[in-house]
């Protein structure tokens, strides 16, 4: 694989959008995939944007370079500002105008589908309404079921008589930060190992971008792992290599970049995680937080479409956890993609999650946009969020 410097996430997005404009009938899947890099947004300087917002209904425009531009109505802008419609990045003819976390991106997708269908003069094939203003909120479960970054269907796993996963149906949307939250010992790490293909289920399946792991050959699973970066609890650094070589390792293994190009990518990532001056340190000379940040830089080195973070807060104090959470959000807004964070840390989950799945007793108890899950009236969720000792969750439950 060659990493073409011209093929930045933005360049790749542009390509996909161009294809989507040329072939609107395939726009839904292409745009859904495009969400993994960056997506949608306001166009132009704030004053231009305001002028554009006066147009009603919103419109989609292919400019000279076939860039897709999306103008929002005033009503949509208001929701954008209060965070309901925040989008990862806005594109101005190839330049990033603004960025922030995705919140209700599925609503945005409904709008996009409508816009594209309107642009093509046809109704979208999946029956979604073409009037973007009327698209409104669509229930999470109905949206893009086949276009989730990760899905598990009826996943079961037992160790002896100890059933850990009892039919887990998980759906992780593309392009956002998803937190898998649950009490200790509930099987979060076991789930993660199934997703990477390191553990096989007793029943059920894992689908990565629609591709079932059960039907993949070993070489396909290995290739898939290159699309998935993993940040392990302790960083999982090679103890005999310094920080620089640890981050360079996947690039040397899986790309044909020359030394200068490797250096550029490595230093870019180390700089982003605040370790640019620690290149020569060995893992045992790093603090726990530094090891995690080095692990994050390594996990991102190949620019994976999906990043899995296993308990990134383990062993960190609350302040370091908050700082690491902010770093994850920052990295996500910079690189895009789907980020999955497994944790039992409620404060971290609240800080970073766009989407949340709560695991309990081997199943997904509740899942959806983080704000909805946090407002759940489930007794278990309320107890877990509050850290209370009274409720359905006991020592062994």
Nearest to ligand ATP of 85, 181 (CB atom) = 181
| Shortest distance (Å) from residue 386 CB to ligand ATP | 18
**Cα dist. 346→38, 139, 180, 183, 386 in Å?**
27, 25, 11, 10, 9
Complete DSSP assignment for 327-361: HHHHHHHHH-SEEEEEES-HHHHHHH-SEEEEEET
Complete DSSP assignment for 131-197: -HHHH----GGGS-GGG-SEEEEEEEEEETTEEEEEEEEEEE-TTSEEEEE--TTSSHHHHHHHHHT
For residue 97, give both structure tokens: 């105008």
Q: What is the CA radius of gyration of the chain?
A: 21
Nearest to ligand ATP of 114, 182 (CB atom) = 182
Nearest to ligand ATP of 91, 353 (CB atom) = 353
Give residues in contact with ligand ATP (CB under 6 A).
159, 164, 182, 184-190, 311, 344
How far is it, in rounded angstroms, from Cα 183 to Cα 242?
35
Nearest to ligand ATP of 30, 188 (CB atom) = 188
Nearest to ligand ATP of 32, 186 (CB atom) = 186
| Shortest distance (Å) from residue 191 CB to ligand ATP | 7
| Shortest distance (Å) from residue 288 CB to ligand ATP | 16
Q: Which residues pair with 206 in a beta bridge?
A: 152
Nearest to ligand ATP of 189, 378 (CB atom) = 189
Given the structure tokens 């990033």, which residue do they identify?
A: 96
| Shortest distance (Å) from residue 185 CB to ligand ATP | 5
How far is it, in rounded angstroms, from Cα 10 to Cα 45?
19
Nearest to ligand ATP of 190, 257 (CB atom) = 190
352, 87 contact by CB (below 8 A)? no
Nearest to ligand ATP of 16, 291 (CB atom) = 291
Q: Nearest Cα to 232, choosing from 178, 294, 312?
A: 312
Nearest to ligand ATP of 71, 310 (CB atom) = 310
Q: Nearest Cα to 303, choosing from 257, 272, 336, 262?
A: 336
Q: Nearest Cα to 109, choosing from 91, 129, 123?
A: 129
How far is it, in rounded angstroms, from Cα 348 to Cα 311?
10
State whether residue 68 is helix, strand or coil.
strand
Find the distance separating the first CA and the last CA of the chain, reported in whole Å.
47
| Shortest distance (Å) from residue 190 CB to ligand ATP | 4
| Shortest distance (Å) from residue 300 CB to ligand ATP | 23
For residue 146, give both structure tokens: 């086949």
| Shortest distance (Å) from residue 189 CB to ligand ATP | 3
| Shortest distance (Å) from residue 362 CB to ligand ATP | 9
| Shortest distance (Å) from residue 363 CB to ligand ATP | 13
């Amino acid at each position: 694989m060659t990493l073409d410097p011209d093929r930045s996430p933005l360049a790749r997005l542009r390509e996909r959008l161009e294809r989507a404009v040329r072939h609107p009938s395939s726009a839904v899947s292409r745009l859904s995939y495009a969400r993994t890099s960056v997506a949608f947004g306001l166009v132009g300087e704030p004053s231009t944007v305001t002028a554009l917002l006066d147009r009603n209904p919103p419109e989609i425009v292919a400019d000279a370079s076939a860039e897709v531009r999306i103008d929002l109505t005033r009503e949509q802008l208001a929701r954008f500002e209060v965070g309901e419609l925040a989008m990862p990045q806005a594109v101005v003819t190839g330049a990033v105008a603004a960025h922030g976390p995705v919140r209700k991106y599925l609503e945005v997708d409904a709008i996009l589908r409508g816009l594209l269908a309107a642009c093509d003069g046809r109704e979208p094939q999946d029956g979604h309404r073409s009037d973007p203003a009327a698209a409104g909120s669509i229930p999470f479960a109905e949206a893009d079921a086949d276009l989730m970054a990760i899905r598990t269907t009826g996943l079961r796993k037992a160790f002896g008589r100890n059933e850990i996963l009892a039919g887990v149906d998980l759906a992780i949307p593309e392009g956002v930060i998803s937190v898998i939250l649950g009490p200790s010992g509930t099987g979060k790490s076991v789930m993660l190992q199934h997703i990477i293909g390191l553990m096989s289920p007793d029943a059920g399946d894992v689908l990565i971008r629609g591709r079932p792991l059960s039907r993949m050959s070993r070489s396909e699973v290995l290739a898939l792992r290159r699309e998935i970066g993993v940040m392990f609890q302790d960083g999982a650094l090679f103890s005999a290599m310094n920080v620089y070589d640890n981050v360079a390792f996947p690039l040397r293994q899986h790309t044909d970049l020359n030394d200068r190009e490797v250096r550029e990518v490595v230093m870019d990532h180390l700089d982003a995680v605040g370790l640019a001056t620690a290149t020569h340190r060995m893992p045992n000379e790093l603090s726990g937080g530094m090891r995690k940040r080095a692990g994050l830089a390594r996990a991102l080195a190949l620019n994976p479409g999906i990043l899995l973070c296993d308990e990134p807060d383990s062993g960190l104090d609350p302040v370091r956890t908050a700082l690491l959470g902010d770093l994850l959000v920052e990295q996500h807004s910079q690189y895009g993609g789907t980020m999955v964070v497994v944790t039992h840390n409620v404060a971290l989950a609240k800080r970073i999650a766009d989407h949340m799945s709560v695991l309990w007793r081997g199943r997904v108890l509740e899942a959806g946009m983080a704000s909805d899950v946090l407002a759940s009236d489930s007794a278990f969720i309320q107890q877990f969020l509050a850290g209370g000792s009274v409720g359905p969750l006991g020592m062994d439950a």
